[in-house]
């Protein structure tokens, strides 16, 4: 029996008859208010970190109010530290993709319309209360007539129409911005927004998501501890996705995992190694691995959900990513910078010393040990200064990678604040080192792994490491040598005093000449002021000449 839920909170953007003009005014109103706030803060000179946090919090609330399109925009911008101040990045990272569920009647209407049969004919049981709800859709648990338990993902009604409407509104906004805000011309906003909407429309195509799930499952078919829900294609359309029900404990729920006796270190290793495989071997990875998309089964297996936001690494970049990974393990700063330039993460510059210094610091501080927030503060200002100078370029593909890695790092630290990447990735490295597979990619992986192990065996002794660090500091311009020469210091001091005396002499002569000229004109009254100035400058000149004479005598005495 189907039990109906109570009424859900109505969202303004869910109107069935949404006027394009009303939507345009709503969006333009938020943008105008935000620009006014920014302009006012700049005019008032009140643009400190605390004020930026307040503005960012206000922006996050408005994005949620505007609905799915803008929630997704905010989530995308949360990874762009190269474009936004740190305060906005921090607040946007807290942006939740949770909104109230829509009516069960609407969900059933979508299912019946898409699958062409009554709900009772399709499912033996269908729970009216959703397991989860987001801006794009919601998930209901159900049971097929064959007895299998499944979850049914249903798209929000009218979502595609809303995206089409927002697509036009944002296009108008971008055109207006380029016309009236010249500072925006340096960004290719039209290309960015077209790429964003292309990905967004793919995310609401559940057939595409189902294919992603099948591909992901195929990639991990030989990994028994990685679970991927099976897709029931006969119950799947563009707006309805039916998957195998795989319950689990939320991956960052440390207390529940410990209560079940699950080894947290193994879960961290499993998560890190699975992502290294996705990034480096498969080139096909889940770009949004937040805790809601990953769970742990009662037997300690890792379960992946939600395959709507998958991303690919082009084959041309795979080898470079592998080399970068092993260069990070070796703390090879030059190789890391070289491959980042090759991949388009860093703009080629004449002087890469600041970039190398930051990379070397990050490798030294955070590769083998937990992140120390205080340590980040030492380079924070320099990093953001570098961003302002535009030495970094973050393509969309790399934005997904960075977002995935940072999110996964946060999950791992929730389980074990003392975890480190090197220890967690050891199983992956060992598996590569003994790999005898064929193909250029596997060959590259095995070669890099062997070189890494060889490098570990050939570590220099303490003296050699010290000399190597000294050499690296000299190359990066971090080593400053200070040589004092008393004779040179005395000479420079005398030159400084002589120049000072010369300036006073020029000022005395100039004011005295001006006073003499003024005496023969109608402005003779001002000649008194000029004579006074000449007298004052002459006193300064006299004091300076005396000081210079005394300094010369002292220097001669010191030389004897």
Catalytically active residues, by annotation:
288
Sequence length of the chain is: 560
Task: State whether the Cα torsion 404-409-415-420 is positive or negative.
Answer: positive
Who contacts 52 (Cβ-Cβ below 8 Å, separation ≥6)?
85, 87, 88
As beta bridge partners, residue 392 has 346
**Nearest alpha carbon to residue 74 among 84, 85, 63:** 63
Cβ distance 366 to 393 under 8 Å?
no
Q: How many other CB atoms are there within 10 angstroms of residue 88's CB atom? A: 22
d(CA 403, CA 76): 9
d(CA 301, CA 274): 12
Cβ distance 204 to 160 under 8 Å?
yes
Who contacts 217 (Cβ-Cβ below 8 Å, separation ≥6)?
228, 230
- Three-state SS sequence of 405-419: HHHHHHHHHHHCCCC
d(CA 217, CA 428): 19
Query: If you write DSSP's letter for every residue of 336-354 in order, what string do you get?
Result: HHHHHHHTTSB---S--HH
Query: If you write DSSP's letter for every residue of 477-523 in order, what string do you get?
Result: T--------HHHHHHHHHHHHHHHHHHHHHHHHHHHHHHHHHHTSTT
DSSP structural state of residue 151: E
Two tokens at 373? 């927030």
SS3 call for 227: strand
d(CA 451, CA 445): 10
Query: If you write DSSP's letter for every residue of 253-319 in order, what string do you get?
Result: -HHHHHHTT--HHHHHHHHHHHHHIIIIIISEEES---GGGEEE-TTS-EEE---TTEEE--HHHHH
């Amino acid at each position: 029996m189907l039990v109906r839920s109570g009424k859900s909170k109505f969202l303004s953007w869910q109107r069935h008859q949404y006027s394009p003009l009303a939507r345009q005014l709503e969006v333009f109103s938020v943008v105008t208010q935000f620009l006014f706030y920014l302009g006012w803060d700049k005019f008032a000179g009140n643009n400190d970190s605390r004020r930026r946090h307040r503005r960012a919090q206000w922006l996050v609330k408005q994005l949620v109010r505007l609905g799915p399109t803008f929630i997704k925009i905010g989530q995308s911008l949360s990874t762009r530290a190269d474009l936004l101040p740190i305060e906005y990045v921090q607040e946007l990272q807290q942006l939740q993709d949770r909104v109230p569920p829509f009516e069960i009647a609407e969900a059933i209407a979508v299912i019946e319309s898409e699958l062409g049969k009554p709900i009772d004919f399709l499912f033996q049981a269908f729970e009216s209360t959703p397991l989860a709800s987001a801006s794009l859709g919601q998930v209901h648990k159900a049971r097929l007539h064959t007895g299998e338990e499944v979850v049914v993902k249903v798209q929000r009604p009218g979502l595609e129409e809303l995206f089409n409407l927002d697509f036009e509104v944002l296009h108008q906004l971008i055109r207006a911005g380029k016309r009236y805000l010249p500072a925006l011309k340096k960004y290719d906003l039209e290309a960015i927004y077209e790429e964003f909407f292309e990905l967004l429309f793919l995310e609401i195509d559940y057939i595409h998501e189902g294919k992603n799930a099948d591909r992901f499952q195929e990639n991990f078919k030989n990994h028994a501890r990685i679970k991927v829900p099976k897709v029931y294609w006969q119950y799947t359309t563009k707006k309805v996705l039916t998957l195998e029900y795989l319950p689990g404990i939320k991956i960052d729920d440390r207390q529940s995992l410990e209560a079940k006796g699950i080894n947290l270190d193994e879960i961290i290793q499993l998560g890190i190694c699975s992502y290294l495989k996705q990034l480096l071997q498969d080139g096909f990875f889940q770009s949004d691995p937040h805790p809601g998309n990953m769970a742990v089964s009662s037997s300690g297996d890792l379960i992946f959900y939600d395959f709507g936001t998958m991303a690919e690494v082009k084959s041309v970049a795979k080898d470079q990513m592998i080399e970068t990974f092993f260069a990070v393990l070796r703390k090879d700063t030059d190789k890391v910078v070289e491959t980042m330039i090759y991949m388009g993460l860093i703009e080629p510059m004449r002087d890469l010393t600041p970039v190398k210094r930051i990379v070397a610091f990050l490798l030294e501080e955070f590769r083998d040990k937990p992140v120390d927030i205080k340590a980040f503060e030492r380079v924070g200002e320099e990093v953001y200064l570098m961003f302002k100078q535009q030495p970094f370029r973050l393509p969309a593909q790399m934005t997904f990678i960075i977002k995935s890695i940072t999110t996964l790092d946060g999950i791992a630290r929730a389980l074990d604040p003392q975890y480190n990447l090197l220890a967690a990735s050891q199983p992956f490295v060992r598996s590569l080192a003994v790999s005898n597979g064929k193909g250029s990619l596997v060959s590259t992986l095995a070669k890099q792994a062997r070189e890494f192990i060889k490098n570990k065996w050939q570590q220099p002794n303490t003296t050699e490491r010290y000399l190597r660090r000294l050499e690296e500091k000299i190359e990066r311009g971090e080593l400053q040598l200070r040589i004092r020469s008393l004779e040179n210091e005395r000479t420079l001091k005398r030159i400084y005093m002589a120049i000072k005396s010369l300036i006073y002499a020029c000022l005395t002569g100039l004011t005295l000449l001006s006073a003499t000229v003024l005496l023969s004109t109608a402005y003779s009254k001002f000649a008194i002021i000029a004579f006074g100035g000449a007298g004052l400058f002459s006193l300064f000149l006299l004091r300076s000449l005396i000081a210079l004479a005394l300094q010369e005598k002292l220097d001669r005495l010191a030389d004897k």
